[in-house]
Amino acid sequence: MGKPIKPIVEEMLLPFLDAEGFELVDVEYVKEGSNWFLRVFVDKEGGIDIDECGRISEYLSQKLDETDPIPDAYFLEVSSPGAERPLKKADDYRRAVGSHVFITTYEPVGGLKEFEGLLESYNGEELVVRIGKKEHTIPFAKVASARLAIVF
């Protein structure tokens, strides 16, 4: 297999998304059972609707057909990241300050590997998450995954 799929798709899609005012949240190329899925998660200020997802899907599908970079048969899915959107980039973390988050770490930090609470701050080097009355400082390099979390 040649170049990884994710950067190819990002390169194809970013000029269109930027011109249309959309943000590329994530691209996944995963095998589930016997099927491959190319999933593209897109958002914009105020949220994205199904018609916009359809437009993005049509654009990307045409571009993929032109260059045919994926050797396997696959299903293309374009959607919103949803309410529990993943935090991937520095801007995602900055926007999430003041929100409820769920964070896992590669190794224990203060005896914990999972943190669910209010993201108090992010300075590029570390996150501060308040769980109840206690603040936990997490080195950014130790974050395995992070997402917004819904409080019920």
Question: 87-143: per-residue pLDDT in tens?
Answer: 888 888 998 999 999 999 999 999 999 999 999 999 999 999 999 999 999 999 999
Q: What is the mean pLDDT of the chain?
A: 90
pLDDT tens sequence across 68-82: 888 889 999 998 887
Q: Which residue, 79, 101, 124, sits at the end of a domain?
A: 79
8 A C-beta contact, residue 129 and residue 103: yes
Residues 43 and 97 in one domain: no
Q: End-to-end distance of the chain based on CA atoms, in angstroms?
A: 44
Tell if the pTM clears 0.85, that is, is over it.
Answer: no
Distance CA 92, CA 97 (A): 9
Alpha-carbon distance values, 23 to 70, 104, 108 (Å)? 23, 24, 32
Q: What SS3 state is found at 20?
A: helix
Residues 71 and 11 in one domain: yes
Distance CA 70, CA 143 (A): 31
The domain total for the chain is: 2
Provide the residue range defining the domain that includes 18. 5-79
